[in-house]
Amino acid sequence: MNGITVKRVDKPTYEIDEEILEQFNEQQNIFARVIYDNDAPFFYKCNYINSEKLIEEEKKGYSRIELARAVSSWTLFNHFSDAFCDQKLDNEITKLSEPQLAKYDIEDMTPFTKEVKETALKFGASLVGICELNHKWIYKNNRHGESINIPQEYTHAIVMAIEMNEDIFNSPDWSAVTSGGISYSQMAFVSASLAQFIRHLGYKAISAGNDTALNIPLAIDAGLGELGRNGMLVTPELGSKVRICKVFTDIPLEVDKSIDFSLQNFCKKCKLCIEACEVSAISCDADPSYKIKSVSNNPGIKRWVVDVEKCYMFWIENGGGCSSCIAACPFSK
CA–CA dist 279, 161 (Å, integer): 27
User: Is 241 part of a structural domain of the chain?
Assistant: yes
Q: Say if CB 283 and CB 302 are below 8 A apart.
A: no
User: Is 231 part of a structural domain of the chain?
Assistant: yes
Q: Say if CB 105 and CB 208 are below 8 A apart.
A: no
What confidence score (pLDDT) does residue 92 get?
Answer: 83
Q: How many CB atoms lie within 10 A of CB 144?
A: 10
- pTM, whole model, 2 decimals? 0.96
Burial class (CB in 10 A: 0-12, 13-18, 19+), 204: middle
What confidence score (pLDDT) does residue 1 get?
Answer: 59
Q: What is the DSSP letter of 100?
A: -
What confidence score (pLDDT) does residue 4 get?
Answer: 86
Q: Say if CB 158 and CB 194 are below 8 A apart.
A: yes
What confidence score (pLDDT) does residue 96 get?
Answer: 81
User: Is 100 part of a structural domain of the chain?
Assistant: no
User: Is 97 part of a structural domain of the chain?
Assistant: no
Full domain range(s) for residue 241: 7-87+106-332
DSSP string, 34-91: HHH-TTSTTTT--TTTTHHHHHHTT-TT--HHHHHHHHHTTHHHHH-GGGS-SS----
What residues in the chain have per-residue pLDDT under 50?
none
Between the alpha carbon of residue 311 and those of residues 88, 112, 293, 322, the distances in Å are 37, 42, 12, 8
> Structural domain tally of the chain?
1
CA–CA dist 209, 161 (Å, integer): 11
What confidence score (pLDDT) does residue 136 get?
Answer: 96
User: Is 96 part of a structural domain of the chain?
Assistant: no
User: Is 215 part of a structural domain of the chain?
Assistant: yes
Would residue 32 be called left, alpha or beta, if left means φ above 0 and alpha means ψ between -120 and 50 degrees? alpha
Say whether 136 sits in a helix, a strand or coil. Answer: helix
User: Is 101 part of a structural domain of the chain?
Assistant: no
Q: Say if CB 305 and CB 283 are below 8 A apart.
A: yes
User: Is 170 part of a structural domain of the chain?
Assistant: yes
Q: Say if CB 190 and CB 123 are below 8 A apart.
A: yes
